[in-house]
Amino acid sequence: MIRPICKDREVLQTPSRKAVKKDLRLARDLKDTLAAHPGCVGLAADMIGENVQMLAAEMMGVPVVMVNPVILMKKDPYVTEERCLSHDHTSTVTRYGVIEVEYRDDRWNRHRSRLEGLPAQIVQHEMDHFEGKLV
């Protein structure tokens, strides 16, 4: 189901809790909402009003859901500007060109992936939402 994008600062600045298996129902909503916003490459669950550590990100044209992702390694820092659907300003942030992330998918299977470039940046941006950071 396509959900409205949350712009409520109180919701967006609230740290997200770890997801549990029953939260997987949100995965379809994240994918549907991501697909409904052309040009959008990632969504965190708080952006649809749910403070849960779950995100959907476009990876080579395919929406990938990451549940409780943890960055295990990061290297090659750089400074860039980013925007977000949940607020109307651009932020300057430091990101890492290469990350290794461990997560569960939308079927609760474990994965470990090495991401580079834009996919790495997308995941880092969405994970900032888990901490209540508005970037």
Could you tell me if residue 70 is inside a domain?
Answer: yes
The tens digit of pLDDT for each residue in 38-50 reads: 999 999 999 999 9
Amino acid symbol at 43: L
Structural domain range at position 48: 9-130
Residues 101-110 have pLDDT tens digits of 999 999 999 9
Residue 1 lies in a domain: no
In a domain, 40, yes or no: yes
Kindly state the DSSP code that residue 46 receives in the 8-state scheme.
Answer: G
- Does 132 have pLDDT greater than 90? yes
Looking at residue 37, the DSSP 8-state letter turns out to be S
Question: Is the pLDDT reported for residue 99 higher than 90?
Answer: yes
91 located within any domain: yes
pLDDT in tens, 49-76: 999 999 999 998 899 999 999 999 999 9
Is 4 part of any domain?
no
Q: How many independent structural domains does the chain possess?
A: 1
How would residue 88 be classed by pLDDT, with cut points 50, 70 and 90? confident
Average pLDDT, the chain: 96
Nearest Cα neighbor of 4 from 92, 124, 85 is: 85
Q: How high is the pLDDT of residue 89? A: 83
Note whether residue 2 is domain-resident.
Answer: no
- Residue 85: pLDDT over 90: no
CATH number at residue 72: 3.90.45.10
**Residue 31 domain-assigned?**
yes
Distance of CA 62 to the CA centre of its chain: 14
User: What pLDDT is stored for residue 55 in this prediction?
Assistant: 99
Catalytic residue list contains 126 = yes
- The residue from 81, 100, 126, 131 that is catalytic is 126
